[in-house]
Chain A
Amino acid sequence: MLHYKPSIGSRAFDIGNVCILLLFSLITLIPFLYVTATSLAPMKQVLQGGLILWPETIDWGAYHTIFSNTHFVNSLWVSIFITVTGTFVNLLFTTLMAYPLSKKRLKGRGVILFLVVVTMLFNGGLIPTYLVVKNIHLLNTVWSVILPGAISAFNLIIMRNFFMSIPEELEDAARIDGCRNFGVLFRIVLPLSMPALATFTLFYAVGHWNNYFSAVMYINKSDLWPIQVLLRQMIIEGSVEQFQNAALEASAQVLPKSIKMAATIVATVPILIIYPFLQKHFAKGVLLGSVKG
């Protein structure tokens, strides 16, 4: 590809760059490797402690413990449902609110936006939010973790800015061809916004998948627990007092540490898998706002 001979200076720069980037990737890779290796390492190696980057032999015991848990499959489905439905709800509502707010002809736009920004700075706090969720009878349903956060104020504002960058002329053309408001939104604006949509899909999906706290707060039935709650439940962790008071039934052949690591892998990998599929959009999405159309 190169048609010119790079100067020594620029070569040195490239080499330096590569080294630094390699170093950074190692820094991010090693903890992941450690977690993976520890989850697979045999008990003796784990007990000896230290940094494990390669298991001496492969021991699937920790994974076996996790997957043989009677609640595991159930919780996996709950999590998948929450992630898929939740992300869909998020995207639908965020779009439906962001689009009108991007139009200058909307009256009271500034006030609405201001109110949205207020929610970014102030929120009701745990107990009032809980009371709202309770009084609209969402407690102990999966909707309690989906609906209260249906629109993220931050994402809404970014999305609105993205919509504003789409040339008005395109919409005018669509209107001349007979499109109404919804037609313009779904046939013109959204297809042009794929980078933004992909980015928010990722943000929202990761959020739902990793959601732990609100599930614990709003869901009392163990058969509605998402995977994150269940996995943390398998790891007895806490203060010394809790150690002492917990029923130490983990006398089995698997170490809590291995299970902890395996749980981390099981919880992380599914969401890692969707990154490559969204990556090309994602890369574009990050640029958003930097170049105005």
Chain B
Amino acid sequence: MNNNRKFKTVLYLSMVVAILGGSAIGCAKKDTASSDQPSSTAKADSSKHIKISSMFPLYGDPAQKTEGWKFIEDKFNIDYEPLAIPNNSSDEKEKLAVASGDMADFMVWESFPSADFYNYTEQGAFLALDDYIKNSPNIMKLPKTVWDNVKINGKIYGIPRPRPLTTTAIMVRKDWLDNLGLPVPKTTDDLFKTAVAFTKNDPDKNGKADTFGFAVGENLAFLETVWNAFDTGNGWRVMEDGTLMNSTITPGRKQALTFISDLYKEGAIDKDFAVLKTTQVWDKINNGNAGIYIGNISDYAHFVEDTTKINPNAKFEMIPLVTGPTGKSGVNEQIGFYGLQVIPAKLEKDPEKVKRIISFLDWQMSDEGAMFKDYGLEGVHYTKNADGTLKVNTDKLKAEAIGNLISQNKFDPYLNVSKTAEPEVQKKQHDMFDYDADKGVTNPVISYLAPTQIEKGADLAKLRDEFFVNVVMGKRKIEDFDKFANEWLDNGGRQLTKEVNDWYKANKK
């Protein structure tokens, strides 16, 4: 009896501790926000030397404290402290930084649109930047589409790190087409015939049936332009009556699925697709098993390099988009940036610091900043030849990891051209980005995250992927599509569609 009572006391005590702990978390942000302002009373003064820290995800080696670093500190009269965090855990670390009130002076927030970002913004964690950036020429060079995508309640809370809006291309083994005497496919029908011929007619002339048409990954990845040829829509499709329909259940999706499952029946799609990760799909291309790949233009460079390493005769080419039965074609238009530079709200009391950060970011987005990120400093990392070309000290550049000193980049539609690839490959990528520029299929609600999407998005995606994969593999019939569409709607899809349409009506531009 006595023992039991003791136990209870301890139990209550520990519960109290737990509750106190819980409420401490809630307060934590406020506490640190008010206690951690080293220079809040400092008078605005551009000649004052201030300390600025920046947190961003790091790919590769951290930058060394050498001439490049010193250059930045002198140029902006700051003590620059880059806090590079390993890209593997950067998402968690970013959340941690915001939630604990321990943000750097400016920081890259990666996931967008994300529920966390909206929540933190609503709670006032980030500074609204509209007034600070309006006179920054390079920052304002970003296209309007991108600004529209980042605005929350009409305000800008982060400066996007620009990326191209359209990045996809169809790539085929040109040497296989030549071996079989086939033309470059122009329509989905051509593509079908090509893929089947690649499977059955021994395009590599090695006498073995070891080839197939499409390299596809898990959940039918790498078929983007095929979907678009059948007019499935990119995420959400504007229907004829002006409402939005999720591209999971559009009529085009049914046609496209029929197309792909027919291909699968012919053996023209990788039999293993359902379990393949990105790099495993790439292996199929590199080994000369697959002849058609739909993916990022930036990946083209390593395919050319790797396929020829295994087979010197391999010729991998990017081709124009194919058109579907109704003459449609296109590539998914992306959100146009990867990550946002955010500034903690507590810096509102220190406008001079914000100004300095903005001018630093503006410089990073200038031509000079882009040169610095790619090639370092003139006279230190590179010299200009008489004909205008650059003589770059790559070893020094790499050893000091100059590019990782700063995290923002210029708006450049050709950002993903592989700068280290052969000039010929670079030219092809360059041309493909040009070709893609007006082929984008837009997602009208790309920056909106519906409540149902947060709550049920993962389940709906699973439902979709399972059905699609089963249809393609012949485990379910395409006639079940309407049944599936209803199931999808009943499991939250209807609510999601309503929310998205409401938002679209209210925010349509």
Tell whether A127 is near chain B: CB-to-CB under 8 Å: yes
Report which of B83, B283, B299, B420 forms a contact with A220, defined as CB distance below 8 A: B83
A233–B92 Cα distance when bound, in Å, is: 16
Q: Give every chain A residue within 8 A of B14 (Cβ-Cβ).
A: 115, 118
CB <8 Å contact, B87 and A242: yes
Q: Give every chain A residue within 8 A of B301 (Cβ-Cβ).
A: 248, 251
**In this complex, what residue of B is CB-closest to A114?**
B10
How many interface residues does A have (CB within 8 Å)? 47
Assuming the A-B contacts A48-B287, A245-B163, are A240 and B278 also in contact, with contact meaning beta carbons closer than 8 angstroms in the complex?
Answer: yes
Tell whether A104 is near chain B: CB-to-CB under 8 Å: no
A232–B10 Cα distance when bound, in Å, is: 44
Q: Give every chain B residue within 8 A of A125 (Cβ-Cβ).
A: 25
Chain B nearest CB, measured from A133 CB (Å) = 10
A125–B99 Cα distance when bound, in Å, is: 12
Report which of A49, A126, A236 forms a contact with B60, defined as CB distance below 8 A: A236
A59–B85 Cα distance when bound, in Å, is: 31
Chain A nearest CB, measured from B221 CB (Å) = 8
Residue interface bits B281-323, CB-to-A below 8 A is 1, else 0: 0010011000000001011011001100110000000000000
Instruction: Name the interface residues of A189-227: CB closer than 8 Å to any CB of B.
Output: 213, 216-217, 220-222
CB <8 Å contact, A47 and B18: no
CB <8 Å contact, B398 and A243: no
CB <8 Å contact, A220 and B85: yes
CB <8 Å contact, A47 and B283: yes
Tell which of A43, A44, A216, A232 has the most Cβ of chain B within 10 Å: A216
CB <8 Å contact, A127 and B88: no
Report which of A71, A213, A244 forms a contact with B62, defined as CB distance below 8 A: A71
Residue interface bits A118-148, CB-to-B below 8 A is 1, else 0: 1000101111101100100000000000000
Instruction: Name the interface residues of A228-270: CB closer than 8 Å to any CB of B.
Output: 229, 232-234, 236-238, 240-249, 251, 257
**In this complex, what residue of B is CB-closest to A232?**
B88
**In this complex, what residue of A is CB-closest to B17?**
A118
CB <8 Å contact, B59 and A213: no
A267–B386 Cα distance when bound, in Å, is: 48
Tell whether A69 is near chain B: CB-to-CB under 8 Å: yes
CB <8 Å contact, B399 and A229: no
Tell whether B461 is near chain A: CB-to-CB under 8 Å: no
Q: Give every chain B residue within 8 A of A70 (Cβ-Cβ).
A: 61, 64, 399
Q: Give every chain B residue within 8 A of A114 (Cβ-Cβ).
A: 7, 10
Tell which of B59, B99, B286, B287 has the most Cβ of chain A within 10 Å: B59
**In this complex, what residue of A is CB-closest to B280?**
A49
Residue interface bits B116-130, CB-to-A below 8 A is 1, else 0: 000000000000000
Tell whether B454 is near chain A: CB-to-CB under 8 Å: no
Counting from the closest, the 4 A-B pairs by CB-CB distance are A222-B62, A251-B420, A220-B83, A246-B59
Beyond the given pairs A111-B6, A248-B420, A251-B302, 15 more chain A to chain B contacts, judged by CB atoms under 8 angstroms and listed by A's residue number, are A47-B286, A70-B64, A125-B25, A126-B92, A126-B96, A217-B96, A220-B55, A232-B86, A240-B221, A241-B338, A243-B299, A244-B298, A245-B338, A248-B418, A257-B279
